[in-house]
Amino acid sequence: MESSTTHSDNTRHRGNRHGRSEEARQAVLEAADDLLAERGFAGVTMEGIAARAGVAKQTIYRWWPSKVDVLLEAFTEDMAEHLTPEDLGDLGADLRVHLARLADFLTESDPGAVFRALTGQAQHDPQLAARLRDDHLSHQRTRDALPLRRAIARGDLPADLDVDTALDHLVGPIHYRVLVTGAPVPREFTDDLVAAFLDRHRAGPR
């Protein structure tokens, strides 16, 4: 029954004692995303978002302290579903699939572009850096760690594995290519990362 666009509309309102306009919120987030995609980070301005979203500047300032906050929310919204590793029951397969997806996310997707922009901006803004870490990165790292934790549970990895360091070794080179060298991140590269990791850590007679 929700928002059924039939005749009278009705969810449409402007100004309301109880709660903000969801309509305006969505319009702002979309406008920010679109502007980033079309014109780059410098092209994302409060003025521009407002104009494109058909929203008053004041409405943006009421709910978001700055344009990076808008992008941050847009980003968080966008990537809820992304990048949760599957459970194939095999450590190597899990990691290979997940790292390949991560590489694809960072280099190809729209939310990946937002991530790069925000990470770039975070180099100039420690507060944003902290927020990125707290609101997003920590969750992502928890998801990234899932295959490792499952393997530990299965006995495929030693119980005392330093998971944090292991993750840095696995995803660090990917981020480095994306953020620093700009080199592509092909499947061979991610597979090789997994191979290196398995060589070193997998409990193994062989």
Residue ranges that bind DNA, judged by CB under 7 A: 3, 13-21, 23-25, 27, 45-48, 54-59, 61-63, 66-67
Task: Dig out the tokens for 71 from the structure.
Answer: 């992008």
Q: Which is nearer to DNA, 65 or 89 (CB)?
A: 65
**Structural contact between residues 70 and 49, judged by C-beta atoms closer than 8 angstroms:** yes
Q: Which is nearer to a second copy, 153 or 196 (CB)?
A: 196
Q: Which is nearer to DNA, 97 or 122 (CB)?
A: 122
Given DNA, a second copy, none, residue 180, with its beta carbon under 5 to 8 Å by kind, binds: a second copy
Given DNA, a second copy, none, residue 13, with its beta carbon under 5 to 8 Å by kind, binds: DNA
174 touching a second copy, by CB under 8 A: yes
Q: How far is the CB of 116 from a second copy (least distance, A)?
A: 5
Residue in 19, 155, 182, 204 binding a second copy, rule: CB under 8 A: 182
Q: How far is the CB of 194 from DNA (least distance, A)?
A: 42
169 touching a second copy, by CB under 8 A: yes
CA angle 114, 115, 120 (to 5 degrees): 100
160 touching a second copy, by CB under 8 A: no
Identify residues 88-117 at the interface with a second copy (CB under 8 A): 116-117
